[in-house]
A = this chain, B = another copy of it.
Amino acid sequence: MGHAKNKKKPGRYRVRGRIWLESAGGTLLGNGRAVLLENIRDLGSISAAARSLDMSYAYAWKLVDAMNRESTTPVVERSTGGRGGGGARLTPAGVRAVEAFRAAQNAFDRFLDEQTEELRL
C-alpha cells in the first residue's frame, strides 16, 4: 500500500489497512477509483485510462458512473461527439476528491508506520 516495510524488525507484525471516502450514497473513492480518476485526468479519456490500467472500458465506465451518482456533483464530465467518441476530464469536484483522498492516504500511511512501531507483540 505504499508505506515502507519495517526493516528493523523482520518477521514481526505490521498494522495494515485501507481507507476510502464515503458519502451518504455509498463509497465514493478508494485507491482503485482514485487511480482511475488520476489516469482520466492525465490521459483525457475514459477509454485511454481503462487501457492503461488493463481494465475494460465497460468496467471503467461503470466505476465513473457510480462515482458521478454518489458524489454531490459529478467527478468526471465527457465531451461527447468528438473524434473517437470524445474525451473526458475531471470536474473541479473530481480534482478535489482525488486530492482529498491522496492527502488522507498519505496521512494514513504515516499512521500505519507509527502504529507498527508502537506494536509490542
Contacts and interface: CB of A to CB of B under 8 A. Distances in A.
Interface in A6-46: 11-24, 28
Contacts of A112: 19
A21 B17 CA distance: 9
A17 B18 contact: yes
A23 to B, nearest CB: 5
Contact of A17 (B12, B93, B108): B108
A76 to B, nearest CB: 15
B22 A13 contact: yes
Nearest to A29: B13
Interface string A92-121: 010011001001100110011001001111
